[in-house]
C-alpha cells in the first residue's frame, strides 16, 4: 500500500515539474524560452555574451563552421553548458 502511494506522489511531482516550469518572454532583443525551471533555456536572436560561469561554452560559428549566425543561444543545466550561434 505504501509503495503505491509513494509511486503516485512521485508521479505527480514529476508531472508538476515538467508541466509547470515553462515560460516564454518577448524581450527587446528577441524571444527567451525557459523550460523545466531553468534546466534548459533558449534565447532566439539575442546575441548575449556567454556568462563567465559557463563550464562548457560551445560556439556555433567555430564548432559547425556557420557563415550566417542566427544569434540563438541554448543554455543547459542552468548555464553550465552554453551553445551560442554568433
For the residues of the chain, what is the DSSP string, one character each? Answer: -HHHHHHHHHHHHHHHHHHHS-EEEE-SSSEEEEEGGGTEEEEES--PPPPTT-SEEEEHHHHS--SS----EEEETTTTEEEE--
pLDDT of residue 68: 75
Rounded Cα distance between 1 and 6, Å, is 9
Low-confidence ranges of the chain (pLDDT < 50): none
pTM (two decimals): 0.61
pLDDT of residue 2: 82
Selection from 66, 72, 82 nearest residue 44 by Cα: 72
Amino acid at each position: 500500500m505504501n509503495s503505491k502511494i509513494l509511486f503516485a506522489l512521485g508521479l505527480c511531482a514529476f508531472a508538476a515539474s515538467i508541466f509547470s516550469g515553462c515560460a516564454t518572454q518577448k524581450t527587446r532583443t528577441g524571444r527567451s524560452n525557459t523550460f523545466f525551471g531553468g534546466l534548459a533555456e533558449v534565447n532566439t536572436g539575442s546575441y548575449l555574451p556567454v556568462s563567465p560561469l559557463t563550464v562548457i561554452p560551445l560556439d556555433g560559428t567555430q564548432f559547425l563552421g556557420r557563415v550566417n549566425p542566427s544569434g540563438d543561444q541554448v543554455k543547459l543545466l542552468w548555464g553550465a553548458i552554453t551553445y551560442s550561434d554568433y
